[in-house]
Structures are given as C-alpha cells and as structure tokens.
Amino acid sequence: MRHVLSVTSECVPLIKTGGLADVAGALPGALSGHGWHMRTLLPAYPGLIKKAEARTVAYTFKALMGGPARVLAGTTGGIDVLLLDAPHLFDRPGGPYGNPTDFSDNPVRFAALSFAAAQIAEHGLTDGWRPQVVHAHDWQAGLTPTYLKIAGVHDVATVMTVHNIAFQGLAPAAMLGTMDLPLSEYTAEGLEYWGQISTLKAGLVDAGAITTVSPTYAAELMRSDFGMGLEGVMAARSDRLSGILNGIDMEVWDPAQDPLITPYSAASLKGKSANRKALIAEFGLSAVNGPLAIIVSRLTAQKGMDLVAATAAQFVEAGGALAILGSGDPQIEDQMRLLARNHPGKVGLRIGYDEALSHRMFGGGDVVLVPSRFEPCGLTQLYGLRYGTVPVVAATGGLADSVIHANVMARSSGVATGFQFHPVDEMALAHCLRDVIAQFSHKSGWTRMQKRGMKQALGWEASSAAYAALYENLTDECRRAT
C-alpha cells in the first residue's frame, strides 16, 4: 500500500457543511481499492475526538501558531482520521468556520492545519507512517504545498483540489508572520492576491497538480467569468489542471435500501408514489397534478435561489409544486418564506439542515431543481439521478457534465436523463420549467428517463481510478526529480 494524506476542514461522518465533507469522506474507501491508504487530517472541533475515539498520539507540536497541539489518530466509519488537537484554535462553540459569522482568526486556524499536514509529510507520524502524496482540499489546506516547499521537502507529491473558487482564504498581509510565512512568498507569482494573502492561490501556485471536481469547471476556471480573479493563475498552470467528477456514496444513496423511505428501484417505481404522497402531506401541499419539484440546497446566490423565487409563481400556476429545504443567506431565506406564504399548498418550505428529510425529498420528488450560477460539481443532481428524481439543472460545471439534456434528439434516441438550461437567468429557467411540465405529462417517456438515470454509474469507481493514476504520475515524477 502506498500512503496519501488528505487535508480537509470537513469530513463525513464527523463534520459537514457542504459537499466537500461528502467527498473527503468517500475518497479513503474508494482509493483503498487502488492500493492507496489514505489518512485524513482535520481539525479536532468540539466532540470529534470522542466521536472518532482518537486516543493515540500520532504527532506532537511544542507550539503551533500560538499554543500547544498534537495529532490524535482514530477511526470512524472506516476512515483513518488524524485530528489536529489544538484547543486554542479549534475548541470553541459554533460551526467549523464561525459562530454565526466567520472567526477572525480563520486564516491562522487553517494555516495551522496546513502547517501540521506539511510537518507530518516531512517527518512522518510516530507510528512510522509517512505519505508519498499530500492531497489538500480548498483554501483551508491551501498552504500545505507552500509549507513543504519552504521546508525544502521535495520527495512528497502534492495535489490541490478546488471545490469552490469563491472561497479563496484571504487574509491581510500583516498576518504573514502569525501564519509562519516569509515575506519572500508574498509576491504576485506567489501567494499575494490584490494586496492580500490568498491561501488558495498559494496552493494553486505550489502544488504539483491542481484538480477540480468536474471537467467543465476545470475549463471554466480559466475564464474571467468563473475564475474570480484566479483565472490567470489557472490558465498559467493549465498543463497541471484537470477535472475529476465527484461520485456519490451508492450505499447511503440507494432507493432500494434506504431505510428513510419506502424502497423502490428502477424495476418498479411503485414505492416512489408512496413517498411522493407522504412528501406532499409532510410539506402541507394540496393535490399536485404536475411535477413536484424539490430543492435541497444552501440558500445562496451561487445556488441561483433568487431565480427560483422569480420563476416559482409561473411554475406553480402551470400545475407544478415546490418543496424546499435549505438555509443560508438571511435575505434569500426571507424571499423563500415570502414565496411559501404567497403560494400556500403549492410551495412548502423548511428552513434548516435535515439529512433525513433530504432523503424523503429525493424519495418523493419528481424533479430536483439545481439552478446554480456556478457549480464545481454538485451532488444533489446525482442523488436525483439515483432516486429517479429527474434533475433540472443550469448548464454549468459538474451539472453540465452529469445530466444529459432532454432535447428532441436526446429524447428520440433514448439517452436523456434530465434538463439543462442556459443562460442561467429567469427567462431560460422559466422556459425550461415549461418544458419540464410538458414532458412530465408524457408518462411513458418520463418513466423511461427516470429509469435511465437510476441505472447510471454514479459511484466513485471512475473518479478514484483517476485520482490514483494522478497520484502515481506525481510520485513517479518526484522519484525522478530527487
């Protein structure tokens, strides 16, 4: 077995705010089949040490960015986790990033995570385990390749995965010292970004390879309308950039085995009708003749939720209904409340985060709506495919890569799995939803489309093979260079 250290701020089943946690939680299992043993380093937020029964001290720091710290090894849900126990940074109430807004010392907290990762990669753990590859996720782990470079460590390969370019790990230049970074790194070719530090840019510049979570997003990242200022860096490193589409956990998300719903499969969708009926009752909707659309999402502008607010009236007047689960931007939450109030019995809303309810929604919905302005990969359209809940998505990023649009050609040749709309605006969404309502009334064609999606290979097989191949290429390269 070869060794890879994954560095992340979230990981299912320990802590999750978004899809990053799902991906970090799925990779170790998926990679073990390819001969890679992954250990996952993440902060010891409150309660995690107990949850993972992490008792073995695997590394000790006398001081790590302002306080004592150690790494505790444990196992949870089959994942070998390494928890960075640094109470001065991570033992505080609230979410992983703040309570309710971001903690002001986040740059230091996650610099510490990255620094710890680099130390482990350089020296190995007390049990002798040392990675050949470090795989850093998002800005929180972005400094890992940079710390390795500064330490002069060249025999460990590094991969930087971008799950979302909108979060860049910005910090005032005055924090360089506290983050243990020399002034020499603070250049336009280095981690300087418009007069600030960007920990994500650091990773993009210094990692041996950059990946993102879909091929389309990889191409989009080199464009000014998606790169959010980092398109130049992306383009400059295009020979090192690739897109590997995320998979989903095919066991957790399996309508035939899901204990939270009435089970069903592509062979018989009967159970789905029962789930639909239950969902309509749960959301207080009146009889729904047209498609029942669901949304399970962060309620933010990225996710196009304002477009939903703008087009929902037409959709429900034409016979559709909407069940929404999400939380996020207070303004968008209010917009959604107003929408539900204005369309009683047609639009149902739950503000909050509820994993079990999300399963019931995929079990009972006809359509899952994902109108994101940008979407690196997106997972809910994949759950939709798996559950016969036809995805209606914006044609961007991973959404474009995972749904085959039901235009006339795709329908007649029997390959369509959902609907895409473009550009991502109200008019295109409204037009698409009219098409959805029309297609929904052609029952046999609709059922065939549902079943086609349900039979797709949506797991981690192809993607984990791609990551393994990347790790192998990079370690070969390291070996040749050292």
Q: Which residues contact 142 (CB under 8 A, 6 or more apart)?
A: 114, 136, 160, 169, 198, 199, 200, 201, 202, 203, 204
Nearer to ligand ADP, 129 or 353 (CB): 353
- Contact between 323 and 283 under an 8 Å Cβ cutoff? The reply is yes
Q: Which is nearer to ligand GLC, 276 or 373 (CB)?
A: 373
Min CB(97)–ligand GLC separation in Å: 13
Query: Which residue from 474, 435, 434, 396 is spatially nearest to 165, judged by alpha carbons?
Result: 396
Is residue 74 left, alpha or beta, with left meaning phi > 0 and alpha meaning psi from -120 to 50?
A: beta
Q: Alpha-carbon distance 393 to 318, whole Å?
A: 19
Q: Which does 85 bind (CB under 5 to 8 A by kind): ligand GLC, ligand ADP, none?
A: none
| Among ligand GLC, ligand ADP, none, partner that 213 touches (CB below 5 to 8 angstroms by kind) | ligand GLC
Among ligand GLC, ligand ADP, none, residue 102 binds (CB under 5-8 Å by kind): none
Distance CA 384, CA 361 (A): 10
**327 sits near ligand ADP (criterion: CB under 6 A):** yes
Per the rule left: phi > 0, alpha: psi between -120 and 50, beta: everything else, 58 is alpha
Least distance in angstroms from the C-beta of 137 to ligand GLC: 8
Residue nearest to ligand GLC as judged by C-beta position: 19
Which residue number, 276 or 386, has a Cβ lying nearer to ligand GLC? Answer: 386
Question: What single DSSP character describes residue 11?
Answer: B
By beta-carbon proximity to ligand GLC, the closer residue of 58 and 230 is 230
Rounded-to-integer distance, Cα 153 and Cα 407, Å: 52
Question: What does the block give as tokens for 402?
Answer: 């995972």
Cβ pair 233, 205 in contact under 8 A: yes
- Whole-number Å distance between alpha carbons of 422 and 427: 9
Q: Which does 355 bind (CB under 5 to 8 A by kind): ligand ADP, ligand GLC, none?
A: ligand ADP
Query: In whole angstroms, what is the distance from residue 263 CA to residue 284 CA?
Result: 22
330 is an interface residue for ligand ADP by CB under 6 A = no
Binding site for ligand GLC (CB under 6 A): 18-20, 23, 163-164, 213, 246, 375-379, 398
**In the bound complex, what is the minimum distance in angstroms from residue 19's beta carbon to ligand ADP?**
2
Q: Least distance (Å) from ligand ADP to the CB of residue 22?
A: 5
Q: What are the beta bridge partners of residue 85? A: 70
Residue 100, phi then psi, degrees to nearest 5:
-90, -20
Q: CB 460 → ligand GLC: shortest distance, Å?
A: 12
Torsion sign across C-alpha atoms 423, 448, 22, 358: positive
> In angstroms, what is the minimal distance from the CB of 379 to ligand GLC?
5
Residue 353 near which of ligand ADP, ligand GLC, none (CB within 5-8 Å, type-dependent): ligand ADP
- In whole angstroms, the minimum distance from the beta carbon of 479 to ligand ADP comes to 35
Task: Pick out residues in 269-308 that bind ligand ADP (CB under 6 A).
Answer: 296-298
Secondary structure, 3-state, 143-175: CHHHHHHHCCCCCCEEEEEECCCCCCCEEEHHH
Among 326, 371, 391, 459, binds ligand ADP (CB under 6 A): 326
Nearest residue (CB) to ligand ADP, 206 versus 375 = 375
CB of 358 to ligand ADP, least distance (A): 4
Q: In 3D, which of 210, 431, 259 has the Cα closest to residue 360? A: 259
Q: How far is the CB of 252 from ligand ADP (least distance, A)?
A: 10
Question: Tokens 């204990």 identify what position?
Answer: 259
349-388 residues in contact with ligand ADP (CB under 6 A) are 353-355, 358, 377-380
Q: Which is nearer to ligand ADP, 382 or 436 (CB)?
A: 382
- Please report whether residue 254 would count as binding ligand ADP according to CB under 6 A: no
> Total number of residues binding ligand ADP (CB under 6 A)?
17
| Contacts with ligand ADP, residue ranges (CB under 6 A) | 18-19, 22, 296-298, 325-327, 353-355, 358, 377-380
